[in-house]
DNA sequence: CCACCGAGTCAACAGGTGTAGACTGAATCG
DNA sequence: CGATTCAGTCTACACCTGTTGACTCGGTGG
């Protein structure tokens, strides 16, 4: 007597979770286009039809997965802002969030993913820019965002030699001075340092 | 009487050029997966069959297009190396080579494109690393490569607000100090500056 | 001038895609 | 206990993909 007949609600939750996990993994590894509903279903040991039933469409499934989490508002002096942005990079380099990787990997070919990444970066950018009273604040904060993105890509998506297995603290240590110089460096280059 | 019957050789060259131009454009805009042979043929005002006949396969056509040009060997003191890498970024930010964009846009989903970009970056990295007598030279040069890539991506592929229309000199000026600090900064962070 | 070659066109194939719908059987509920 | 709901499965559709081969027809070399 199989006395433990798994309740239907729980059964459903389990399969949905398996599908989400498989989707996260496959989207992160192969990007949107190269990930098929059939592959997700297979990896989740289910049927493509079920994936459709639970998540409506491939698009919706991807949207459910590929979220880049926005961090809390930054504020303070430019130096503090630089330090905060650096810390946020540290988290990203430490955590390896499959969801963000899925979005980043797909952002060049999938419009929705590009929008997701762009908006997350712009949100960060606007807030940081507000604390900088220089005319080219947009450029500076955008640059820092780009550098952050480049670092994450180099480490996780390209696996560059020096970056792949470096301890996060070492990476952030090397970038600390960079971030600071960009945030409050003088606009005409480093030739005239006032500090 | 249309007295100028275009010679066959030239006719062929023209069509091949049209195909190559269309492929460059479409691969750069949409990436490998989302670019179809049919679309290339249509944009080149030809037939898919002809594309196959002239370039054998989609793969070969892409390989023909997506080449990231390696620049000449860098050498000298670390400071000079930093300056050279910065200049090379300047070129990249100025030129907007469709070919490289095609490779970069496809590198997350197309293995061959990833290899192309990786190898171009590693070649640069190895040479630059040779001039640095520190144990973490790989990390430093890899980081600079990642920052360069991030900048190009932010400018051309994401079109970030501050980066999209900033003059290249301004970008390189802001990054100059960063590159230098990474190349010859001290390994334990910027807290103890010897300069 | 005529046979040939090759640029260009067309239709089709085999495979893979997202998605829809009918069906089955067991958990659920009155 | 009987009726019903619903997780899970299977089949099929319509479409799009890279790629192939047969066909046309005008420039080309003998």
Residue A186 confidence class, pLDDT cut points 50, 70, 90? low
First CA to last CA distance, chain A: 79
Pick from B147, B157, B193 the residue to mutate for testing the A interface (most A CBs within 10 Å). B147
pLDDT of residue A188: 55
Contact B109 A109 (CB under 8 A): yes
pLDDT at A4: 54
Residue pLDDT, tens place only, B124-180: 888 888 888 888 999 999 999 999 999 999 999 999 989 999 999 999 999 999 999
Closest nt to A6 (CA→C1')? C27
* CB contact A111 to B (< 8 Å): no
Domain boundaries along the sequence of chain A: 8-65, 78-187
- A173 CA: distance to closest CA in chain B (Å): 5
Three-state SS sequence of chain A: CCCCCCCHHHHHHHHHHHHHHHHHHHHHHHHHHHCCHHHHHHHCCCCHHHHHHHHCCHHHHHHHHCCCCCCCCCCCCHHHHHHHHHHHHHHHHHHCCHHHHHHHHHCCCCHHHHHHHHHHHHHHHHHHHHCCCCCCHHHHHHHHHHHHHHHHHHHHHCCCHHHHCCCHHHHHHHHHHHHHHHHHCCCCCCCCCCC
B87 in contact with chain A, both atoms CB, cutoff 8 A:
no
Tens-digit pLDDT profile for residues A118-171: 999 998 888 888 888 888 999 999 999 999 999 999 999 999 989 999 999 999
Decide if pLDDT at B86 tops 50. yes
Q: Indicate the pTM of the whole model.
A: 0.90
CA B49 to C1' D15 (Å) is 20
Element (H, E) at B81: helix B78-95
Mean pLDDT in residue range A174-187: 86
Question: Quick check: B95 contacting A, CB < 8 Å?
Answer: no
Whether the CB of B29 is below 8 Å from some CB of chain A: the reply is no
Q: What is the mean pLDDT of residues A176-186?
A: 87
The pLDDT of residue B187? 58
Round and report the angstrom distance from CA (B7) to C1' (C4): 16
Tell me which DSSP letter residue B71 carries: P
The yes-or-no verdict on residue B189 having pLDDT over 50 is no
pLDDT tens track for B89-120: 998 888 878 899 999 999 999 998 999 999 99
CB neighbour burial string for B55-64, b if at least 16 within 10 angstroms, e if fewer: beebeebbeb
Check if the beta carbon of residue B132 is closer than 8 Å to that of residue B140.
yes
Backbone torsion region of residue A45, taken as left when φ is above 0, otherwise alpha when ψ lies between -120 and 50, otherwise beta: left
A107-116, B37-46, B182-191: which range is least confident on average? B182-191
Check if residue B37 sits with its Cβ under 7 angstroms from strand C.
no
Of A33, A141, A178, the CB nearest to B109: A33
In this structure, the number of other CB atoms found within 10 A of the CB of residue A193 comes to 11
Lookup: nucleotide whose C1' is closest to B50 CA: C8
The pLDDT assigned to B159 comes to 93
* Chain B hits for A168, Cβ within 8 Å: none
Report the protein residue whose CA lies nearest the C1' of nucleotide D17. B36
Q: Is the pLDDT of residue A2 over 50?
A: no
Longest C-alpha distance within chain B, in Å? Answer: 83
- Read off the pLDDT of each residue in A48-70 and give the average, rounded to a whole number: 94
pLDDT in the model for residue A154: 95
CATH of region B8-65: 1.10.10.60
Alpha carbons B118 and B66: distance in angstroms, whole number: 13
Closest to A144 measured CA to CA, from A81, A69, A70: A81
Q: What is the pLDDT of residues B32-62, one digit of tens each?
A: 999 999 999 999 999 999 999 999 999 999 9
- Count CB neighbours of A100 within 10 A: 21
């Amino acid at each position: 007597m199989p006395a433990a007949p798994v309740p239907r609600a729980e059964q459903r939750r389990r399969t949905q979770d398996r599908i989400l996990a498989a989707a996260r993994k496959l989207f992160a590894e192969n990007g949107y286009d190269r990930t098929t509903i059939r592959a997700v279903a297979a990896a989740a040991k289910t049927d493509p039809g079920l994936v459709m039933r639970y998540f409506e469409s491939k698009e919706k499934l991807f949207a459910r997965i590929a979220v880049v989490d926005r961090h809390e508002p930054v504020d303070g002096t430019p130096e503090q802002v630089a330090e905060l942005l650096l810390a946020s990079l540290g988290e990203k380099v430490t955590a390896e969030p499959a969801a963000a990787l899925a979005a980043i990997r797909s952002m060049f070919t999938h419009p929705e993913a590009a929008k997701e990444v762009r908006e997350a970066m712009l949100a960060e950018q606007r807030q940081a820019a507000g604390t900088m009273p220089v005319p080219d604040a947009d450029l500076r904060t955008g640059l820092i965002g780009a550098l952050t993105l480049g670092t994450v890509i180099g480490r996780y998506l390209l696996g560059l030699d020096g970056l792949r297995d470096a301890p996060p603290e070492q990476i952030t240590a090397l970038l600390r001075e960079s971030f600071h110089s960009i945030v409050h460096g003088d606009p005409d280059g480093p030739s005239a340092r006032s500090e």
